[in-house]
Structure 1
Amino acid sequence: MPRCGTVALAGRPNVGKSTLLNALVGEHLAIVAAKPQSTRVPVVGLLTRDDAQFILTDSPGLLEPEYPLHETMRDAAVRAIADADVVAYLHPLAEFPAPPFVEVARLAHAPRGAVIPVYTKADLLAPSARPAVRPSDGVVVSAVAGEGLAALLGALGARLPESPFHYDPDEIATQPLRFFAAEFVREAAFELLRQELPYSVACAIEEFRESASPVYIRATLYVERDSQKGIVIGESGRTIKALGQAARAKIETLVGQPVYLDLHVKVLPRWRRDAPSLQRLGYAPS
């Protein structure tokens, strides 16, 4: 009997959830940034191996909310944990042992799915500096080096329920291309914009013509203040041009076709703290 189920990649911000999702799926789906809290909504990747299908959910980091956007991020992470058949609890190997998951996630009770500790970023430690992690303690991985991924899939697969596959084995994601286009624009913003500005940037896809050649995408970057708009555009449009070039390259890699990315910048005051704006941008339920 095949196995199929949902695996939530969960943990505090910046523990390597998105990097691990991309490594497991073998495709760049989730934003990877040096700055924490880049994942705002769950990204779902698919991996089918032999008689097992993994529905992998890269959830936002478990943080202490400071404003309404953070609250929607935390709510999305908690829902992903509650819905999961298995929870991969990510924690940096350098900080072994991990505190109890229920404590980190601030849950009233343990999730219904099995919780497997996954110690990440093993490549950052010299072998002599690594703590002794027994198999009963969890799985040690390096998503960057590919270390421990087979062992992790083995541990996760053993806990998936017996079930027919939910998706075609060739599929790698459940969300539409326009979702990933918006995420890749935000990823470029995290790469190119300094300090705290990327946290004030949201992206909405206004038009996506996949049948056009090149694929036509019209997107709007929303910021909270006029001064931020000027920074995103840059002198003579240099910054928005560089941002568009970086995002277009990422999108073209995913869709496998040339892309024309038409970027615009608008001000949406205090959108991170405004419930209707969060709904409009897809961060909160309507």
Structure 2
Amino acid sequence: MIPQAPPEFRSGFIGIIGRPNVGKSTLMNQLVGQKVAITSPVAQTTRNRLQGILTTKDAQLIFVDTPGIHKPHHQLGEVLVQNAKIAIESVDVVLFVVDVTTTCGAGDRYVADLLSRSSTPVILGLNKIDEQPPNLLEINESYTKLADSQQWQTVKFSAKTGVGLPELQQLLIQNLEPGPYYYPPDLVTDQPERFIMGELIREQILLLTREEIPHSVAISIDQVQETPTITRVMATIHVERDSQKGILIGKGGSMLKAIGSAAREQIQKLIAGKVYLELFVKVQPKWRQSRIRLAELGYRVEE
């Protein structure tokens, strides 16, 4: 049930925007207090606009975790970047996340230029303050200059350790208008369970294969059968080449077994119950270049 919000209650949608691999998904998981987005050392982990929901006694914050904004090299990349751009215009506040282990670069300036053309309020989030290198002054100055040029508020934090997140949360609430509950207070994401299951499988592929199988992987959940004692999940891993299929299966099926075992553990946490997971690998040549294949696998330009 969605309750009636008190008079001073604030709510709204917050777009988490930035270059690939600046810690957007890690940040959303920390703020929500639960894993709803996959994370990986590999750039371009997030593909769908994933919503995480944080409800406090004073506010409801709906975080929209978007794909990293980058120069696309295929149809999938075009869709991802287009969806991130659409998110800028469809939220109440943008949290522009940057990685302060390096100075402000061309990629950050490209995102800043996109944001400068929008009327959506922007907060510049300086992430990874726990990892800052010796040239701290130079790095800080580069982002101070960026924020000052746009008159953006700034906040420093570490998505990994949680340092500075209470201050970030408070600043975000202050930038929201009074509003209703959009979702029940106990909900942490609007994504269906099947989608999260697929993402948890994809996360393990990214973690275990790293550069060998970069982003030519998509997951479809073919069947979920629930009984009182166990949930049976059948899923297909789609790749573009036979060589990738061989890597994913591994010698004697060792890699597929490792992926399945690690993903099963994560899915068990998601549904709080026992899981049997069966994985298949299918070659779909050039699926990232085909709008039809992308749509079949759930990648569409958002409305």
Q: Does 1:275 align with 2:291?
A: yes
CA-CA distance at 1:234 after TM superposition: 1.1
Q: Counterpart amino acid of 2:259?
A: L
Q: Counterpart amino acid of 2:121?
A: A
Q: Which residue of 2 aligns with 1:67?
A: 74
Q: Does 1:148 align with 2:155?
A: no
Q: Which residue of 2 aligns with 1:205?
A: 221
CA distance in 1: counterparts of 2:123 and 2:116, whole angstroms? 16
CA distance in 1: counterparts of 2:261 and 2:300, whole angstroms? 29
Q: Counterpart amino acid of 1:89?
A: F
Q: Deviations over 1:15-65 (max 9, x none)?
A: 110110011011111111111011111111000111200000110000101
After TM superposition, the structure 1 = structure 2 runs for residues 202-281 of structure 1, keeping only pairs within 5 Å, are 202-211=218-227, 213-281=229-297
TM-score, with structure 1 as normaliser: 0.93
Residue pair 2:12, 2:92 contacting (<8 A) in 1 also? yes
CA distance in 1: counterparts of 2:47 and 2:190, whole angstroms? 17
- Segments of 5+ residues of structure 2 without an aligned counterpart are 1-7
CA-CA distance at 1:5 after TM superposition: 0.5
Give the 4+ runs in structure 1 shifted more than 4 A: 96-102, 132-137
CA distance in 2: counterparts of 1:183 and 1:206, whole angstroms? 14
Q: Which residue of 2 aligns with 1:33?
A: 40
Q: Does 1:104 align with 2:99?
A: no
Q: Counterpart amino acid of 1:187?
A: E
Give the match's secondary structure for 2:255: helix
Higher mean Cα deviation, 188-197 or 101-110? 101-110
Residue pair 1:39, 1:61 contacting (<8 A) in 2 also? yes
Equivalent residue in structure 2 for 1:139, among 139, 143, 155: 155
Residue pair 2:19, 2:107 contacting (<8 A) in 1 also? no
Q: Which residue of 2 aligns with 1:165?
A: 181
Residue pair 1:85, 1:112 contacting (<8 A) in 2 also? no
Gap change, CA 1:137 and 1:54, over 3 Å in 2: closer
Gap change, CA 1:127 and 1:174, over 3 Å in 2: farther
Give the match's secondary structure for 1:89: strand
Q: Which residue of 2 aligns with 1:53?
A: 60
Q: Deviations over 1:175-203 (max 9, x none)?
A: 01100000000000001114241311110
After TM superposition, the structure 1 = structure 2 runs for residues 177-196 of structure 1, keeping only pairs within 5 Å, are 177-196=193-212
CA distance in 2: counterparts of 1:42 and 1:278, whole angstroms? 15
Q: Counterpart amino acid of 2:266?
A: K
CA-CA distance at 1:127 after TM superposition: 9.1
CA-CA distance at 1:129 after TM superposition: 3.8
CA-CA distance at 1:226 after TM superposition: 1.3
Q: Deviations over 1:50-101 (max 9, x none)?
A: 1200000110000101110000110111111111100000011234558897
Give the match's secondary structure for 1:262: strand
Residue pair 2:25, 2:38 contacting (<8 A) in 1 also? yes
- Segments of 5+ residues of structure 1 without an aligned counterpart are none
- Percent identity over paired residues: 40
CA distance in 2: counterparts of 1:108 and 1:258, whole angstroms? 45
